[in-house]
Amino acid sequence: MDPVAATTLPIPGLLLAGSVAALAASLWLLLPKTSDTVNSRRLGFLLGAAALIGFAATGRSLGGVGEDAVFLTVAGIAVISGLATIVTRSPVYSAIWFAMALAGVSGVLLVLGAQFLGVATIVVYAGAILVMFLFVLMLAQPSGMAPYDRVSNEPMLAAAAGAVLLGLLTLSIGRLSAAEPPACCRLPSRAQAMAAAPTEGAGSEDDRSATLLAPATAGVESVDADEVAHLGAELFGRHLFAVEVAGVLLLVALVGSIAVVSRGEATETDHRRESR
């Protein structure tokens, strides 16, 4: 069933170590520090690009999808924008970069075939949550750049910890892809059995995806037109109680935030009492 995973090369260790080191150095150089210069940031950008290329090569050694231009593009947008989100000095630019990262993540979800979630990410995150962030920034941002935006807590330790964690995750993903055949063959077949049970036409679809023409086209072809309907049936069928609980949670959050805001009127008097 899975010839690609069986023939997967193990991750080249030197490449991974180099990528991790480049990522740590790049994060340390790019994070806001008091000793920043233009040249150090430039070097950080270069090292970041090197780390990105290294991780892309690692992903390619895990499978042939590194050649899928669409996936590579949207993943690159997501990762680069995510990096820019955490290293930008200005919180407004940070929020805008986060919107770009959301666009990239939405593209990745669409490539994966989760159409509803790809659209919902844009609508809910970029449309609602991010606008709320920008409103708060407009209400709360002091004019000019605040000094606390130009320093960060322990940038070296944090960058090293994040890069090492990423290296460990990559290693475990690589071990996963070079996994034993029974584990990786049993699960898709069980899923295929589940998928083939309700409908008649699912058999031919499985045959088509089993040929594995190219990974990208197989992924696109396996997208069923009723994806949203299936997700809705699952959501409102098996997980109906959880949907109700989520609705109650939304209501409680709404009431709670309004309650806290209207209690905020009291903080004005608190201020006056403190200053007196």
**Per CB under 8 A, 109 contacts other proteins:** yes
- Alpha helix locations (H) across the chain? 3-6, 13-30, 38-62, 69-87, 91-112, 115-120, 130-140, 155-177, 181-196, 202-211, 215-221, 227-237, 240-263, 265-275
Angstrom distance (rounded) from CA 269 to CA 207: 71
Site for other proteins in 149-178 (CB under 8 A): 149-155, 158-159, 161-163, 165-166, 169-170, 173-174, 176-177
114 forms part of the interface with other proteins (CB under 8 A)? yes
57 binds other proteins (CB under 8 A): no
Question: What angle is formed at CA 143 by the lines to CA 154 and CA 99, rounded to 5 degrees?
Answer: 65
- How far CA 159 is from CA of 19, 25, 154, 253, in Å, comes to 13, 7, 9, 34
- If one asks whether residue 21 binds other proteins (CB under 8 A), the answer comes out as no
- Return the SS3 of 187: helix
- Residue selected from 112, 181, 199, 226 as contacting other proteins according to rule CB under 8 A: 112
Among 95, 100, 103, 126, binds other proteins (CB under 8 A): 95
Residue 12 interacting with other proteins (CB under 8 A): no
Of 75, 95, 76, the residue nearest 85 (C-alpha): 95
66 binds other proteins (CB under 8 A): yes
What is the number of other CB atoms lying within 10 angstroms of the CB of residue 19?
24
Phi and psi dihedrals of 143, rounded to 5?
-70, 145
Report the half-sphere exposure of 233 (CA within 13 A, side-chain side): 5
Establish if 79 lies at the interface with other proteins (CB under 8 A): yes
Q: Which is nearer to other proteins, 64 or 203 (CB)?
A: 64
Among 18, 50, 82, 103, binds other proteins (CB under 8 A): 82
Task: Give the residue, chosen from 9, 46, 53, 194, that forms a contact with other proteins under the rule CB under 8 A.
Answer: 194
Q: Are residues 106 and 119 in contact, defined by beta-carbon separation less than 8 angstroms?
A: yes
Q: Is 187 in the site for other proteins (CB under 8 A)?
A: yes
Interface with other proteins in residues 26-45 (CB under 8 A)? 27, 31-32, 34, 36
Q: Does 188 bind other proteins (CB under 8 A)?
A: yes
The answer to whether residue 122 forms part of the interface with other proteins (CB under 8 A) is no
Does 100 bind other proteins (CB under 8 A)? Our answer is no
Binding to other proteins (CB under 8 A) within 196-255 occurs at: 206, 209, 212, 215-216, 218-219, 222, 230-231, 234-235, 238-239, 242, 246, 249-250, 252-254
Q: Residue 239 and residue 259: Cα distance in Å, rounded?
A: 30
